[in-house]
Structures are given as structure tokens and as C-alpha cells.
Amino acid sequence: MCARNRKASGMSISMFIKETESDKALCREKKGKNALVNMKEPGKFQQYCERKYYIDLAAAEAKLGKDKIAEIKKRNKLRGAGEIKAEKVKDKNDLATLKPFTREEVTSWINIVQLPKIVVDEIMASTLVSDIMTMWDSIDFEEMGEICGKCVLSWDKGRGCVATLMPGESPLPEIARKAGLNFIANIPKYAEEKKVFTGADAKELLKEIEKLKPAVEKEGKGIAHRLSGVIERLESMAKACAVNDVKFYFSS
């Protein structure tokens, strides 16, 4: 086996769908809108950069007394004695009390959602933007999970629409090849090419999967058990794409 093939066989193969091309994707709007941009240097856009605020509890205790800070920490469920993020202090009165011990830090991130279009256009046209985050990128994992859990395109048991299919050295393609199932046999090649398939192709893939199941069973219980999860994931993805007419591809 050549070095190139040895390298490819050690890489895992993942499955992706073109969810943003479907109006059924609940994440489509958020993935299509930019929310945050990171600046190499703020320059004249510093006024728009996000700020973070930190409170020096040690300095506050030295000035206000140990009992007062203990009271504030208990009320806001705070831990530690050094510097903390101001956002952890939920009580507004306590936040005001600690304001003299609060410092501001200017970040390199700009939230462009609420900015006037003329300002956003100027920022995006500058050479200072080093990274961009969509609205989807900017939400937390809990919210992502809630959205994915409700989406019909979330084929991975409600956890999303991207997942690893199998390791590069999986015996599945060779079993498919022996059974004359060319689509599944060529998945490693398609993964290298990142070839995009249609919802109609997904229907053909489902037909091969039905023929693949008995072919895998013939290989023995050990192999069948080992590949059961792979086949389940492949079938789940193919069904979602076939039913909803969504494009998909493999990648390694």
C-alpha cells in the first residue's frame, strides 16, 4: 500500500448534508447571517468593539470589609477571592457597589447585528477583519441542541446533521464491493472528492443499504455487530435526505 493510501485509510469518514440549501433547516437563518467579526486591530472601529468587565474582589474587600463582600458573594453565589467576571454578579445593587473595583477590557470582537448597515459595510470592506462568526456560531450548545432536536433534518438522533460515519480502515466498503454495491463501496473515494449527491441519490443509497444488511450478516456476528452503528447512521442520513430532498456528501 502506498503512503498516500496508508494516510487515507487512517482518517475517519464523516457525513454532511447541505442543510442551508433547504428551507426545512431550522438553523438556516442563523447560519446565513453574520453576527460577530474579529478585528486584527480595532483601528477606527474601536468604539464598536465589545467590552468585558472584571471585578477585583480582593480590592473590594480591602475597602468595603470582609463581611460586606461575604454577603455579596453569598447573595450572588460567587466563589473565589480574586478577579471575577462582572456578569456573574446578578444583583444590580451589588453591581453598583462594586463598580469602583471594576475594570473594562476592550475585546477585538464587534457585534454587527445592531449596527447601521453603512457601518457594517465599512467594517466588512476593511482589511482588518480576521474572522467572522454567524448567528449560529454565536449561540451556546444548549440552544443549538434545542434547535437541532426539533429539526427534521437532524438525522443523528436529534443531535444534528453532521457525524462520523466510519474509520478509514472500516471493512464496510470492501464488503459492499463484494456484494456489488458500488455506491457504498466507493464512499472512501467520494469522501476524498467531497462529491455532492442529491435527494434522488439518497433513495438509491437506501436501496443498496437494504442489500448491504444481509451481506454484512454473512460476514459473521462479530463484523455485523461492529458495523451495525455505521449502517444505522448511513441509513438515517440517507432517509432524511431522501424524504426532504436534501443534498449530502462525505468527507475524510
Cell numbers at residue 230, please? 455505521
Task: Give the E-state strand segments of 177-237 in sequence order.
Answer: 196-197
Structural domain of residue 128, as residue ranges?
34-134
The count of domains in the chain is 2
Conformation bin of residue 194: beta by default, left when phi > 0, alpha when psi is -120 to 50: left
Global pTM reads 0.74
Same domain, 124 and 49: yes
Residue 2 lies in a domain: no
Residue 3 lies in a domain: no
Q: Are strands 102-111 and 34-39 parallel, antiparallel or unpaired?
A: antiparallel
| Integer Cα distance of 188 and 199 in angstroms | 20
| Integer Cα distance of 180 and 174 in angstroms | 10
| Integer Cα distance of 66 and 73 in angstroms | 10
CB-based contact 98:73 (threshold 8 Å): no
Q: What is the pLDDT of residues 106-146, one digit of tens each?
A: 999 999 999 999 999 999 999 999 999 999 998 999 999 99
Residue 204 lies in a domain: yes
Q: Give the per-residue pLDDT at 10.
A: 57
